[in-house]
A and B are shown apart, each in its own frame.
Chain A
Amino acid sequence: MSELYRINGSNIIHEAFEDEVIVLNMNNGNYFSLSKTSADIWKLIETGATVPAIVNAMKQRYDGNDSEVETAVTQFVNQLAEENLVAAVEDRADSRNHAESGIDPPKERKPFQAPIFQKFSDMQEMLLLDPIHDVDESGWPGVPRISTSN
């Protein structure tokens, strides 16, 4: 596993709210809701923090078993990578080994909950339509239409 990840390109669009992040993958129509610990991790990836730095930040912010926190964070980053939302970075010139901001240390540490995301694939069908097949001599389609709902 790499130690550094970045948001995987301009086709991954996202917006962070107080403790939630909404992510759209323009390549395949999937979209995701991240909250609490998963939202924190996403924001830290955005800042350029390395995975070890993210793990440390989560240990500072949340009360949990150190080993469990580390395992949960690395597994979650892997899941984000498997969904092609983040990509491993080889050049670490801009990485940070200290996770800075966006996540201020809280006055009270809440119990650590394993980061998860909600994944929605109901928009994929819009990207799977292929209504254009053959063309006629004018260069424009001349086949019967495929009926779809709007």
Chain B
Amino acid sequence: MVAPALAIDSAVRAKTFFEDAYRAFLKAEKDNGAQCKRLYRIADRSVQMRFANSTLLPLLSPAFEHLATTSSDPTPALTMCLWDSLSTGVSMPPPAWSWDDYDVLGQVRGFESGGVHLVYQGCSNALSIFDEERALAIYWAKDNQLPYYERSAPLRAIFTWWAASQDYLLVHSAAVGKGGVGVLLTGKGGVGKSTTSLLCLQAGLEFLGDNNVILRNGSSPTAYSLYNAATLHPEQIRRMPMLAQTIQNSPPPDSPKAVFFAKELNPGQLKLSLPIKAILVPRITGKTETRLAPCSPASSLAALAPSTIFSSPGAGRSAFKFMAKYVRQVPNYILELGTDLQQIPQTVTRLLSKIS
């Protein structure tokens, strides 16, 4: 347990650094004279993004385009301030911690305090900070050289913290639907949830996301869309020619995946949210046939929780308990994925037709 005086000191440090960072953003915004604001409707909440200039806009906003709105809310549930130093000429204040203070997820030990969350992502050279009390977030990058996964699932740390502040949870799952009801597809990377969800999209099913969705617990468990972007390996591109037509970039030499935006395929298939009626845990079998087999809620939790918790800064016990409650509320199935790819969306469609 942190001694009270130390806890107060940490909270003061965190708030002070946040204020310094926010002043840097305001200078960047003023110096660059641009009013680049975007409004979105995310998880039934209004979210505003303020870009200091247009540099980061084409990199970070396309993933949210399907959630764009023109309805202005005087008190958005989240305001994000985004800039990079290279194009704005405005630096982030020096870190208020030493290099040894980072943990393996990029969080600063002792800095999670006073409702301020912070993480530095070395692979993107980007800093994310969120002040819960003010519902205000800052995203700063040194330049605009963001890796493909930052462009397909941008601002994930901020949305993780913000979702938790709303009693929601951002999870490592896909979600598809039909007739206004949906299923979660969950599991660690490589089990086939992304491929399954994209095959379903290609087959005309409703789509919330291939890798990250926001969950709401309650009497009617719900999933909300966050990103309409997906990343595809060359093998996935080969198997899904309809999606391949809309790919934004060919995988560069140092990037194993291409970025695809579902909004480019059929915007009508993208949904803002779906009530979730079942959880599916994909499992590659090597057999031809695809089939569903009932499984326990514990099996779904084992598939859902680890990759969500270990990839999300700040996700811990409360996130785990959230997911444990979620998996108890709906039926759970192993989706045994066969090599005949057509059967995969057909099997999911049959289940959705049965539960809708």
Contacts and interface: CB of A to CB of B under 8 A. Distances in A.
A147 B147 contact: yes
Contacts of A149: 149, 189, 256-257
B309 A26 contact: yes
Interface in B277-309: 296-299, 301-302, 305-307, 309
A135 B189 contact: no
A146 B302 contact: no
Given A20-B298, A141-B125, A127 B310 contact: yes
Contacts of B316: 13, 26
Contact of A145 (B106, B124, B306, B321): B124
Contacts of A67: none
Q: Is the interface of A mostly helix, strand, loop or mixed?
A: loop
A12 to B, nearest CB: 10
Given A123-B310, A139-B95, A147-B147, A17 B297 contact: yes
B295 to A, nearest CB: 10
Contacts of B349: none
B165 interface: no
Nearest to A134: B99
A78 to B, nearest CB: 23
A146 B145 CA distance: 13
A105 interface: no
Interface in B101-143: 102, 104-106, 120-125, 127, 142
Interface string A132-150: 1101001111100111111
Interface string A16-54: 011011101010010101010000000000000000000
Contacts of A17: 296-298, 301, 328
A147 B188 contact: no
A35 B256 CA distance: 38
Contacts, number: 106
Nearest to A136: B142
B149 A150 contact: yes
A15 B324 CA distance: 7
Nearest to B298: A20
Contacts of A15: 298, 301, 320-321, 324
B235 interface: no
Contact of A24 (B145, B189, B306): B306
B91 interface: yes
A10 B317 CA distance: 8
Residue among B94, B145, B306, B328 with max Cβ neighbours from chain A (10 Å): B306
Nearest to A138: B91
Nearest to B320: A13
Q: Which of A26, A35, A129, A131 has its CB near the most chain B CB atoms (within 10 A)?
A: A131
A22 B305 contact: yes
Nearest to B256: A149
Interface in A110-137: 120, 122-123, 126-133, 135
Given A24-B309, A149-B257, A122 B302 contact: no
Interface in B182-212: 188-189, 211
Interface of B: 91-92, 94-95, 99, 102, 104-106, 120-125, 127, 142, 145, 147, 149, 152-153, 188-189, 211, 231, 254-257, 296-299, 301-302, 305-307, 309-311, 316-317, 320-321, 324, 328
9 nearest A-B residue pairs (beta carbon): A131-B122, A139-B94, A150-B149, A20-B298, A15-B324, A132-B122, A123-B310, A17-B298, A126-B310
